């Protein structure tokens, strides 16, 4: 018989016990459940529900239970469904005062408390992992600040860029994720305990005391919304999904750049694997797994939307299904950030190949058009002339820097000998002036600014 089973004559069907049990995954919340129960016990003593000796017995019992779980000696059973009932049942075995602990509390507000405490802790750890990756990216950008490479649109060589500017592009996408983590943390930073099952309590609970004890920023304002609310879970999982999306795009680039076709980088051995058949292979498994796991984290987001979209107010057992996607998304994002940090730290640039690709292309056509524009030609006309020059070079099997000046003058008398210096890729990276552009100077400014931001 369950501890709250007085209403029922018959026991629960074993199939339903197995079907409804969440202990296999929500046991992860044991520390947060015990922490919340200690605070609740302290408040119950303050308002006169518990004596000092009863509270002390409860705290002692909870400490012992925490040690039992951590040591692996605690016995779990599907009959007790979840971590809350496991801890409460074991506490009652240790002290009769444990029967008073649930006064003024429902599993509805208790699980919300545990999850909010968990989310706050996990988001803090996630932000630390993200910050470590950002620092690794800035260090790599600074170490390779003089290297140039092609920048791509449509997977076609587009314009020459510094490698430092390229990696800082991924950096800024990930930097935005810190704001999402902080927004999710603010959403979670609300004390739900005291809302009860949905309507609060006639017992004069001191919610402000518990708020301060547990370090929440504020107390929830509507008891019905509180037990129904899983916005804080959605926000945390969405933040994780955005991190994974940005990591996946970065991983895709690195996977391509590590191929023999690009040969721009060499990945660290410890993040790659060989082939069971082909001795020469160096497979980017870690990056491929980040790319693949992103799909599952996106599934966590949409799975939660599907669970929440049609639920009537207030609590429904469907909400038990929120924990696995939350655990999975946050854990996956954390591990992926750590893997990508190792990858960036251990990345080797094959500089010669990157710069050769930047030199041996028609990307200087952009600068060719800008050269004419600076001399007064309308850009659309200059664009057309540069396109003709590229076509003629393709037909002749040469690059723009090998095109005779006389042929360029046939296209426009504005061309002078200095055009060949102007369109050199490395020169382009020196003379670009717009703020935030792909130039050496702007990359240096960005690196300096981000080092200050990261306290490097």
Tens digit of each residue's pLDDT (9 = 90 or more) over 243-287: 999 999 999 999 999 999 999 999 999 999 988 888 888 999 999
- The Cα 299–Cα 365 span in angstroms is 43
280 is catalytic: no
Q: Kindly state the average pLDDT of the residues 190-203.
A: 97
Q: pLDDT digit string (tens) for 173-191?
A: 999 999 999 999 999 999 9
Q: State the Cα–Cα distance between residues 225 and 199, nearest whole angstrom.
A: 10
For position 47, what pLDDT does the model report?
Answer: 98
Residue in 289, 427, 285 with CA at minimum distance from that of residue 367: 427
Task: Compute the distance between CA of residue 89 and CA of residue 93 in angstroms, rounded to an integer.
Answer: 6
- The domains found in the chain, sorted by start residue, are 8-103 (1.10.275.10), 108-350 (1.20.200.10), 357-454 (1.10.40.30)
Evaluate whether 301 touches 241 at the Cβ level (below 8 Å): yes
Q: Which of 53, 275, 352, 396 is catalytic?
A: 275
CA distance 313 to 451: 48
Overall average pLDDT of the 291-318 stretch: 96
The predicted structure's pLDDT at residue 1: 39
CA–CA separation, 249 vs 340, rounded Å? 12
User: 24-50, pLDDT tens digit by residue?
Assistant: 999 999 999 999 999 999 999 999 999
Element (DSSP H or E) covering residue 265 = strand 265-266
How many whole angstroms separate alpha carbon 188 and alpha carbon 456? 30
Whether 154 is catalytic is yes
Task: State the catalytic residue, choosing from 154, 276, 280, 434.
Answer: 154
Nearest one of 450, 452, 429, 449 to 171, comparing CA atoms: 450
387-429 pLDDT tens trace: 999 999 999 999 999 999 999 999 999 999 999 999 999 999 9
Please check whether residue 52 is in contact with residue 45, taking contact to mean a CB–CB distance below 8 angstroms: yes
Predicted pLDDT of residue 397: 96
pTM equals 0.94
- Of residues 79 and 154, more confidence is placed in 154
If pLDDT is split at 50, 70 and 90, which confidence band does 23 have? confident
């Amino acid at each position: 018989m369950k501890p709250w089973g007085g209403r029922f004559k018959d026991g629960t069907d074993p199939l339903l016990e197995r079907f409804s049990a969440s202990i296999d995954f929500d046991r992860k919340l044991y520390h947060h459940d015990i922490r919340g129960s200690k605070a609740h016990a302290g408040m119950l003593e303050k308002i006169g529900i518990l004596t000092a000796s009863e509270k002390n017995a409860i705290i002692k019992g909870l400490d012992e239970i925490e040690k039992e779980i951590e040591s692996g000696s605690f016995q779990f059973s599907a009959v007790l469904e979840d971590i809350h009932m496991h801890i409460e049942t074991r506490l009652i075995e240790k002290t009769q005062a444990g029967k008073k602990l649930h006064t003024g509390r429902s599993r509805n507000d208790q699980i919300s408390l545990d999850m909010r405490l968990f989310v706050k802790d996990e988001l803090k750890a996630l932000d630390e992992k993200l910050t470590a990756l950002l620092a690794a990216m800035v260090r790599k950008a600074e170490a390779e600040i003089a290297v140039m490479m092609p920048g791509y649109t449509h997977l076609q060589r587009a314009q020459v860029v510094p490698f430092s500017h390229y990696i800082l592009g991924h950096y800024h996408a990930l930097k935005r994720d810190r704001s999402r983590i902080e927004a999710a943390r603010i959403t979670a930073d609300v004390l739900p305990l005291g809302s009860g099952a949905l309507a609060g309590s006639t017992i004069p609970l001191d919610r402000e005391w518990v708020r301060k004890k547990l370090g929440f920023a504020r107390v929830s304002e509507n008891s019905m919304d509180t037990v129904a609310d899983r916005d804080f879970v959605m926000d945390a999982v969405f933040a994780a999904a955005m991190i994974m999306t940005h990591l996946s795009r970065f991983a895709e680039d690195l996977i391509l750049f590590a191929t023999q076709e690009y040969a721009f980088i060499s990945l660290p051995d410890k993040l790659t694997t060989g082939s069971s058949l082909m001795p020469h292979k160096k497979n980017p498994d870690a990056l491929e797994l980040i790319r693949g796991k992103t799909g599952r984290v996106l599934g966590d987001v949409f799975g939660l939307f599907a669970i929440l979209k049609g639920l009537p107010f207030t609590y429904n057992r469907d909400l038990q299904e929120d924990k696995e996607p939350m655990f999975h998304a946050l854990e996956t994002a954390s591990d992926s950030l750590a893997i990508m940090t190792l990858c960036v730290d251990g990345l080797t640039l094959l500089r010669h190949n990157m710069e050769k690709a930047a030199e041996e292309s028609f990307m200087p056509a952009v600068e060719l058009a800008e050269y004419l524009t600076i001399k007064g030609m309308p850009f659309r006309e200059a664009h057309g002339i540069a396109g003709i020059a590229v076509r003629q070079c393709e037909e002749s099997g040469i690059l723009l820097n090998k095109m005779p000046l006389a042929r360029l003058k046939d296209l426009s008398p504005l061309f002078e000998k200095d055009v060949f210096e102007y369109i050199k890729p490395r020169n382009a990276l020196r003379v670009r002036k717009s703020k935030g552009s792909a130039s050496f100077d702007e990359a240096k400014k960005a690196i300096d600014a981000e080092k200050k931001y990261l306290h490097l």
